Amino acid sequence: MDLLSNLALGFSVAVTPLNLLFVTVGAFIGMLVGVIPGFGPSAGIAILLPITLSLDPTSAIIMLAGIYYGSMYGGTITSILINTPGESATVASTLDGYPLARQGRAGPALVMQAIASFVGGTVGVILICSLAPWFAKVAMSFGPSEYFMLVVLGLLMLTVMMGENQRYGIVSALFGFAIAMVGVDVVSGQQRFTFGSAELINGIDFIPVAIGLFGIGELLSCVYEGNHREKPQDMMKVKMFGKGFWPNAVDYIETKWTMFRGSVLGFVVGVLPGAGATIASLMSYSLEKKMSKTPEKFGKGAMAGLVAPEAANNAASSGAMIPLLTLGIPGSGSTAVLLGAFLMWGLQPGPLLMIEHPEFSWGLITSMYMGNIVLLLVNIVAIPIFVKALQVPYKLLLPVIVVLCVIGTYSLHGSIIETWIMLICGVLGFFMKLYGYSPAATVLALVLGPMAENTLRQTLIASSGSFSVFVQRPVTLSLLIIVLIAIVFPIIMRIINKSRKNNRDIVA
Amino acid sequence: MKLAFSLFFFLFSVVFTALSLKFNFLTDSGRPDTGFFPLIIGFGLLLFTGLSVYHDFKERMKASEKSIYGKEMVWVAVFMTVFIFLLNILGSLISMILFIFSILLLFNREKMLQNISISLVIPIIIVVMFDFWLNASLPKGFLGFV
């Protein structure tokens, strides 16, 4: 009953003409963000954040969340039509999406991906509704030691997922923590790393850093890779709404369980910190291939090979909202920017958010239902618009993106110093991307830095300086064990792989 | 360049750790003080950036990361720097017009009419959106208008 009354409350907040408009605008912008290659949801949310400043917090977050999950829908259009994923979470969708388009089945592929995304997003939202209150209840018993371990685990998982670049990931996260130390120490009141500047007393705001690292950094990367010199790519033809545009009965029958498997797997992976939509879509693709009776069709235009990652990446983006809303701990760059947006409006995500601001929490969750319906319609009806958007040359978009980044950053606090910080972070973000560092880990650590410091200090004050508290509390101990496994397991795997390789070399 | 970037992070770590040493690690009663967390971060940074420098130094010959568009990327960064520098001098509208036009002149020289239209229309839309609709503060130049 609680769930129903919460949903009723959420719908009463979300279903207003204004919020429906913001959901639609957010979903539409999100799709455009997804369509532009090299321009991910983190950059999209960060750049558009200043524009939402004058809005009501609930409407603003509803719109930003729309951009977040809308980008998952949009990224696939390029995967199918030009074999270029709009963003990393749709890489797996190119594997069968593009071959389908080459077979003249671009229309059914686009419609099926929209339906799979809708199912994934909707299953994700249903699971959020059922699980978020439970998560929040469990999180109520968490003390500072648990929160500190959760922050460590979140960042560690993000760096572990970087594979060979783990060391750079750790440097990126520590760099974010270092930037977070600028400002006044809340306990002693002493200034740190401010160099006498009045503008730095309040610390370095995360928005200029996020806009710089994600927006300008990605833009410079695109120029470095020559996107601005590319002519609009030859894309697969789509017969809009004519014969052959809609999927046939076999497509639906073949993939009906694929959608649900992908959705559940994607959601679970999305909840895990650091894993995210990209890992979810790749895992779902490989699971589906293993379970398929015709695995040889995968990679050659199997509809299940497109549907599985699509359902998974959308469910994962919903799943990632659980740790964000109930613990206040984001698991990716995009959700870190969303957390920053929450904080900007004075909303502290965590177990108390659902109790203290139920209208906001449930309004946001129910807006995701609406968003998925809007996206399904937009995805099918507005395909011609996105196909047109794909043909706008990057060289024309480039100065517009820069101007939005610069003016958006300045407009936050009217600070030219923050605008310079944004530019410096942009250049840093470019080199970080080029050399395999993780801008997402930096932003995540910057947002979580104060929480990490405060919870560690509180833990040690409460335990009179003893670190044994981390093995005395069951939840903390479990998290510590997971952290240790996350550190040790890749090392063991590397040693095993190395010795296997050596043995093979000896045999050869 | 990869090695230089790792060295940059290493130097940052050295400066950050040195500055962190100025703060007390523990209070008189043995509680974590202002420098506690920064020092932990500083030592972590020193360790991992040091390892990165060592690793990148060993592999410095392997790296070949040249892009034919590197120069154009530098031009974009330079234009952005000039753009931000001009914001408080010429005001946001004129700076935006100049910036957009310069970038388009660099990459889209063959379509001047298109360049002029985009350079005029986009800044006007942005000023209307930020200054009038969002009521945000935009930089004013010496002429006193945005």
pLDDT single digits (tens) A477-506: 998 998 898 888 878 887 888 888 778 777
> What confidence tier does B92 reach under pLDDT thresholds 50, 70, 90?
very high
For residue B136, which residues of chain A lie inside 8 Å, CB to CB?
Answer: 50, 53-54, 411
Mean pLDDT to the nearest integer, A378-404:
85
Of the candidate ranges A40-44, A400-404, B102-106, the one whose mean pLDDT is the lowest = A40-44
CB contacts under 8 A, A 77-106 vs B, are: none
Tokens 């892009």, residue located = B67
Is B96 touching A (CB cutoff 8 A)?
yes
- CB spacing of B41 vs A435 below 8 angstroms: no
Calpha distance A78→A230 (Å, rounded): 15
Mean pLDDT to the nearest integer, B84-106:
95
Model pLDDT, residue A191: 93
Mean pLDDT to the nearest integer, A195-208:
89
Calpha distance A76→A30 (Å, rounded): 12
Model pLDDT, residue B65: 62
Is A50 touching B (CB cutoff 8 A)?
yes
pLDDT at A1 over 60: no
Model pLDDT, residue A76: 85
pLDDT at A353 over 70: yes
Among A396, A422, A438, A448, most B C-beta atoms within 10 A, so best to mutate, is: A396
Q: What are phi and psi of A184, to 5 degrees?
A: -95, 135
Model pLDDT, residue A232: 66
Mean pLDDT to the nearest integer, A322-327:
88
> What confidence tier does A157 reach under pLDDT thresholds 50, 70, 90?
confident
Q: Distance from A263 to chain B by nearest Cα, in Å? A: 38
Model pLDDT, residue A455: 93
Mean pLDDT to the nearest integer, A197-212:
90
pLDDT at A303 over 60: yes
Q: What are phi and psi of B26, to 5 degrees?
A: -130, 155
Is A471 touching B (CB cutoff 8 A)?
no
- CB spacing of A396 vs B104 below 8 angstroms: yes
Is pLDDT larger for residue A367 or for residue B64? A367
Q: Distance from B11 to chain A by nearest Cα, in Å? A: 12
Mention every residue, 6+ apart, whose C-beta is less than 8 A from residue A97: A76, A79, A80, A109, A113, A306
Is A225 touching B (CB cutoff 8 A)?
yes
For residue B140, which residues of chain A lie inside 8 Å, CB to CB?
Answer: none
> What confidence tier does A385 reach under pLDDT thresholds 50, 70, 90?
confident
Is A494 touching B (CB cutoff 8 A)?
no
Model pLDDT, residue A236: 64
For residue A192, which residues of chain B lie inside 8 Å, CB to CB?
Answer: 23, 34, 38
Is B126 touching A (CB cutoff 8 A)?
yes
pLDDT single digits (tens) A220-275: 999 998 888 877 666 666 766 677 788 889 889 889 899 999 999 999 999 887 66
Mean pLDDT to the nearest integer, A341-360:
84
Model pLDDT, residue B104: 96
* Burial environment of residue A504 by CB neighbours within 10 A (0 to 12, 13 to 18, 19 or more): exposed
Vertex A236 angle, CA A96 and B110, to 5° = 130
Is B7 touching A (CB cutoff 8 A)?
no
Q: Which residue of B has its CA nearest to A422?
A: B84
pLDDT at A70 over 90: no
CA max distance for chain A: 74
Is B12 touching A (CB cutoff 8 A)?
yes
Among B28, B103, B120, most A C-beta atoms within 10 A, so best to mutate, is: B103
Mean residue pLDDT across chain A: 87
CB nearest to A53's CB, from B23, B31, B134: B134
pLDDT single digits (tens) B23-82: 999 988 888 999 999 999 999 999 999 999 999 998 877 766 677 888 999 999 999 999
Model pLDDT, residue A489: 83
For residue A469, which residues of chain B lie inside 8 Å, CB to CB?
Answer: none
CB A36 within 8 A of CB A230: no
Mean pLDDT to the nearest integer, A386-394:
81
The distance from CA A65 to its chain's CA centroid, rounded to whole angstroms, is 10
ipTM of this complex:
0.94
pLDDT single digits (tens) A28-60: 888 888 887 667 788 888 888 888 878 888 888
Mention every residue, 6+ apart, whose C-beta is less than 8 A from residue A25: A63, A66
For residue B12, which residues of chain A lie inside 8 Å, CB to CB?
Answer: 175, 178
CB A312 within 8 A of CB A258: no
Model pLDDT, residue A425: 96
SS3 readout for A433-502: HHCCCCHHHHHHHHHHHHHHHHHHHHHHHHCCCCCCHHHHCHHHHHHHHHHHHHHHHHHHHHHHHHHHHH
Q: Where are the domains of chain B?
A: 2-58, 70-133
- CB spacing of A398 vs B45 below 8 angstroms: no
Among B1, B41, B49, B94, most A C-beta atoms within 10 A, so best to mutate, is: B41
What whole-number percentage of chain B has pLDDT above 70? Answer: 97
Calpha distance A96→A475 (Å, rounded): 42
Calpha distance A9→A58 (Å, rounded): 13
Among A56, A216, A403, most B C-beta atoms within 10 A, so best to mutate, is: A403
Calpha distance A313→A113 (Å, rounded): 11
- CB spacing of B42 vs A54 below 8 angstroms: no
Model pLDDT, residue A36: 77
Calpha distance A82→A383 (Å, rounded): 14
Model pLDDT, residue B106: 93
Mean residue pLDDT across chain B: 91
* Burial environment of residue B16 by CB neighbours within 10 A (0 to 12, 13 to 18, 19 or more): buried
pLDDT single digits (tens) B10-27: 999 999 999 999 999 998
Q: How many A×B Cβ pairs under 8 Å? A: 171
Calpha distance A304→A306 (Å, rounded): 5
